[in-house]
Amino acid sequence: MRLRSNSERADMNPNIADEVPWSENLTSYDREHFTIYLRILDACADNASEKEMAERILGIDPSIDPVRALKALRSHIDRANWMVTTGYKELFAG
């Protein structure tokens, strides 16, 4: 996987939440950030560091705001994992 450069990421990350809005159903946030979830899962599979994922995928600089970067990343990782274990069913229903 090739993580995008800083200039590429700026346009990719509209309104990244510090914590993903949680629901047992797909949310509008999930639909808007589906590509982010896929990129995170891909980066995790490639053993990218948390700092690299936070900066290049979420657009949060961990050297400036390490607490926010880690919190947001872990929240998005959790939701991405939920999407591949449970949430995907709604994508294919009816």
> For residue 52, what are the domain limits?
24-92
- Pick from 52, 28, 2, 92: nearest CA to 84: 92
Please indicate, yes or no, if residue 53 is contained in any of the structural domains: yes
Please indicate, yes or no, if residue 79 is contained in any of the structural domains: yes
Please indicate, yes or no, if residue 14 is contained in any of the structural domains: no
State pLDDT tens for residues 3-24: 544 444 434 455 899 999 999 9
Please indicate, yes or no, if residue 81 is contained in any of the structural domains: yes
Rounded-to-integer distance, Cα 24 and Cα 55, Å: 28
Please indicate, yes or no, if residue 34 is contained in any of the structural domains: yes
Please indicate, yes or no, if residue 4 is contained in any of the structural domains: no
Count structural domains, the chain.
1
| Torsion on CA atoms 88, 38, 79, 46, rounded to nearest 10 | 120
1 pLDDT tier (thresholds 50, 70, 90): very low
pTM assigned to the model: 0.83
* Cβ neighbours of residue 17 closer than 8 Å, sequence gap 6 or more: 29, 72, 75
